[in-house]
Amino acid sequence: MATSQQLEAIKGAKVLMVGAGGIGCELLKTLALSGFTDVHIIDMDTIEVSNLNRQFLFRQSHVGQSKAKVARDSVLRFRPNMSITPYHANVKDPDFNVEFFKQFNVVLNGLDNLDARRHVNRLCLAADVPLVESGTTGFLGQVTVHVKGKTECYECRPKPAPKTYPVCTITSTPSKFVHCIVWAKDLLFAKLFGDKTQENDLNVRSGGAASSSEQPEDVFERKKGEDIHEYGRRIYDHVFGYNIELALSNEETWKNRQRPRPIYSKDALPDQPAKPNGNFESSNSSEDPSSLSAMAALGMKNPQEVWSLSENSRIFLEALKLLFEKRAKDIGNLSFDKDDQLAVEFVTAAANIRASSFGIPLHSLFEAKGVAGNIVHAVATTNAIIAGLIVIEAIKVLQNDAKNYRMTYCLEHPSRKMLLMPVEPFEQDKACYVCSETPLTLEINTKKSMLRDFVEKIVKAKLGMNLPLVMNGSALLYEVGDDLDEDMVANYAANIEKVLCELPAPVTNGTIVTVEDLQQELTCNINIKHREEFDEEKEPDGMLLLGWNQAPPVEKDNNHVVNGVSTSAELPSEEVVDDVDMEISKVAPVKKRKVLDTPVDVNDKKKVEEVNDDDEDEDIIMLEGNNPEYGKKRKLI
């Protein structure tokens, strides 16, 4: 039972929830049943069929509706006197600024991506509002508390860098099925159905086997009046046959590698039709574009069966035909969506055909969707446990009970006979550029790199700024905003295309550049160090940011490493862990959960991994406390 002091804190609290998915549904229910009376919810997503097995506030009739709004309506049915304000919007929208955050007593995160987490962390710091973070994946989960001046902020500790694959591996020398998925999803699908103006490395080949001048026309452009079947076979023959032949012409590449096999449609598609692998009922009569299915059209219903090369070829051509014929208005604007059945079928078939060519084992649609969509199957019980822990920590925060704040890890297997492992929060990292405003150092070739490279690759991609402002001393080099006049917009547009050393206020070796995000109220100084050369394999951005807390990528040998969305010179991916044990080493058993007299060094005696996800079938990140300094600040309870 809650004490009178706890009840008073609960009833007087104004709470902001960010995320109304797997954790969010459980959290809103727990807040309501705990006596909270004023809750605001931000979530930009709509309800999907795949959510219904665990996000219990939603029903089949709610599919396509706002998660935040439906969650509110569902809870009000059993807590009608509760005030719940939903926002069907992106938490990064300008409306949700520092002033907006200041009205809340605590912010509770149930997000599914690193970028939004960082954004909320910065707004909470600027508004001086406590943040309770959380994440789950499968049986694993954690809850962490971040209070300005009392604990570390969310960005004090390194977050794993996205796993990157050199473009030559993806386009020329794949060795794993995930490489084929990256190629099919981020290159081929994007080339055929996405933004035609976006840079795409689909035609990049190793060793200069062919120059672009040999193929002056865009082979992916459908010719006027061209039959869709002819177009499909032409694309098939080009990417799986012709391109492979060109790659084979570079003998040096294949000296120590297995040579791929060119595959042409005439060889892969015998005259006999595909055999149905399940009960066939056409689903293509539906008006919902996302329900179109090449499998259904061909009478193939079992997503867990591994298709033959012939079946993959038929699915490939059928999916391409349906996309062009039934969704013609979307061509040029499509991006891969794991809940788009036709997109998943196309990517699975394309990846399998490419895998067949390179001697890589084929995968079923079910398996391929898990890789392409970064899916880690959720456990509803874990979400419920984590939601309960969030509320417990929120109540402590509302009572300003700092000495009892805990970061709690939910384990898959017992450690010291415990499935929940609480530890004291870390102290603020004095070297954190977010909460301590420590300067960073950037090694960059100031004579070759443009301001655009700096803004896109460093300010936005690594520092996570959405509305950046870049200054050299008192000179304003770049700014984003709706209130800029035409002259300023033209001036910044000109600057963005200039080499750093040729800017009106030149950026050279020793320059200190100030970058700022007015929405996040975050300012960071970056010391520029000129460097001539970079390793294209290890430093593909052509620059190196020092002092930025991001752990190196970790690559597993399983097939749960999945790709990102870039189609530029490097294809990033993030690691999905399907079954990872959080290891906390065995220390002397204790009967009571109390603070040990001597802090346990978490680096030497245990590994505490952080789950950076809720269960929205997105990427998850596992993080180890590998800095010896951290172990000195954290105690095992």
- Average the pLDDT over 201-225 and give the result: 57
* Among the ranges given (43-47, 146-150, 228-232, 606-610), the one the predictor scored with the smallest mean pLDDT: 606-610
- Average the pLDDT over 475-486 and give the result: 87
- Give the closest residue to 106 by CA, choosing from 53, 172, 38, 168: 38
- Average the pLDDT over 49-70 and give the result: 89
Asked if 505 and 475 touch (Cβ cutoff 8 Å), the reply is: yes
Asked if 315 and 345 touch (Cβ cutoff 8 Å), the reply is: yes
Strand partners, 293: none
| Percentage of the chain lying above the pLDDT 70 cut | 77
- Give the closest residue to 275 by CA, choosing from 310, 232, 303: 310
- Give the closest residue to 564 by CA, choosing from 289, 167, 266: 167
- Residue 281: count of CB within 10 angstroms of its CB: 8
Q: How far apart are CA 535 and CA 538, in angstroms?
A: 5
- Between strands 512-517 and 522-530, the pairing is antiparallel
Q: How far apart are CA 623 and CA 619, in angstroms?
A: 13
Q: Tell me which of 168, 180, 435, 501 is the catalytic residue.
A: 168
Residue of 444 and 172 predicted with greater confidence: 444
Residue of 512 and 572 predicted with greater confidence: 512
| pLDDT of res. 329 | 86
3-state secondary structure at position 269? coil
| Whether pLDDT at 557 is above 50 | no
Tokens of 611: 């789950």
Looking at every residue in the chain, the average pLDDT score rounds to: 80
Asked if 106 and 148 touch (Cβ cutoff 8 Å), the reply is: no
Q: Name the residue type at position 143.
A: V
Strand partners, 528: 442
| pLDDT of res. 61 | 93
CA angle 431, 518, 469 (to 5 degrees): 85
CA angle 97, 102, 106 (to 5 degrees): 110
DSSP H helix total and E strand total for the chain: 20, 19
Strand partners, 550: 159
Residue of 417 and 634 predicted with greater confidence: 417
Q: How far apart are CA 633 and CA 426, in angstroms?
A: 6
| pLDDT of res. 200 | 60
> Is 432 among the catalytic positions?
no
| Whether pLDDT at 3 is above 90 | no
- Between strands 512-517 and 468-472, the pairing is antiparallel
| pLDDT of res. 550 | 61
- Average the pLDDT over 455-467 and give the result: 90
The string of pLDDT tens digits covering residues 97-151 is: 999 999 999 999 998 878 899 999 999 999 999 999 999 888 999 999 999 999 9
Residue of 529 and 214 predicted with greater confidence: 529
Strand partners, 514: 471, 525
Q: How far apart are CA 181 and CA 363, in angstroms?
A: 10
Asked if 276 and 301 touch (Cβ cutoff 8 Å), the reply is: yes
* Among the ranges given (310-319, 338-347, 586-595), the one the predictor scored with the smallest mean pLDDT: 586-595
Give the H or E element holding residue 615: none
- Give the closest residue to 98 by CA, choosing from 518, 533, 549: 518
Residue of 283 and 34 predicted with greater confidence: 34
* Among the ranges given (43-52, 352-361, 435-444, 554-563), the one the predictor scored with the smallest mean pLDDT: 554-563
Q: How far apart are CA 314 and CA 485, in angstroms?
A: 54
- State the pLDDT confidence band at 506, using cuts at 50, 70 and 90: very high
CB-based contacts of 1, cutoff 8 Å, min separation 6: none
| Whether pLDDT at 304 is above 70 | yes
Q: How far apart are CA 168 and CA 570, in angstroms?
A: 9
Give the residue carrying structure tokens 């929208």. 93
Asked if 316 and 348 touch (Cβ cutoff 8 Å), the reply is: no
Residue of 210 and 223 predicted with greater confidence: 223
Q: How far apart are CA 448 and CA 488, in angstroms?
A: 25
- Give the closest residue to 559 by CA, choosing from 366, 410, 319, 382: 366
- Average the pLDDT over 413-433 and give the result: 90
- Residue 590: count of CB within 10 angstroms of its CB: 12
Q: How far apart are CA 207 and CA 210, in angstroms?
A: 8
- Average the pLDDT over 600-618 and give the result: 45
